Amino acid sequence: MEFYSRRDFLKTAAAGSTLALGYGLSSSVFAEKKSAKQAQYGLVTYQWAKDWDLPTLLKNCETANVLGVELRTTHAHGVERTLTEDQRKEVAKRFADSPVTLVGIGSNERYDSPDPIVLKKAIADTKDFIKLSHDVGGTGVKVKPDSFHVGVPESVTIEQI
């Protein structure tokens, strides 16, 4: 069995996602705001938009016709679990008033740890991200399969994730 590095996995996943979006396989995510008959592109704010506040992000995405976005936490747009109820409503309104669809929140939670305390915290924090995503109009939360650990069978880690 051949194993790929995390970098190779992410490149392959990104390419596959781009193709899926390009061929309309994921068009239902954007259906309310854009016809599924043409290619639609999305953005994860992990690198390209990490320094943009939310108004800049929405403006730039609209200008570039990038109509779906996953907001990575800890970035300049400031959509975090610490937002108040009113702040969450404001984020949801900004997206509702924009042609850009908030697909979801990209958390940094990892589910590979063999330490049950670390895993339990990741699950609890993910629940907070799910509530945040719901409150701001997103449809999901990304978590990470990150690593295989020495002494832990890969099948156990995969099942845990």
Domains of the chain: total: 1
Residue 19 belongs to some domain of the structure = no
For residue range 39-74, what is the model confidence (pLDDT) as tens digits? 677 888 988 899 999 999 999 999 999 999 999 998
Phi-psi region of 111 (alpha: psi -120 to 50; beta: other; left: phi over 0): alpha
* pLDDT of res. 37: 63
Residue 95 belongs to some domain of the structure = yes
Structure tokens at 68: 């779906």
CATH at 140: 3.20.20.150
Structure tokens at 150: 């020495």
7 has pLDDT over 80 = no
24 has pLDDT over 70 = no
pTM: 0.73
For residue range 73-91, what is the model confidence (pLDDT) as tens digits? 988 899 999 999 999 999 9
Beta bridge partners of 69: 43, 102
Alpha-carbon gap, residue 54 to 38, rounded angstroms: 26
Is residue 83 within 8 A of residue 59, CB to CB? The reply is no
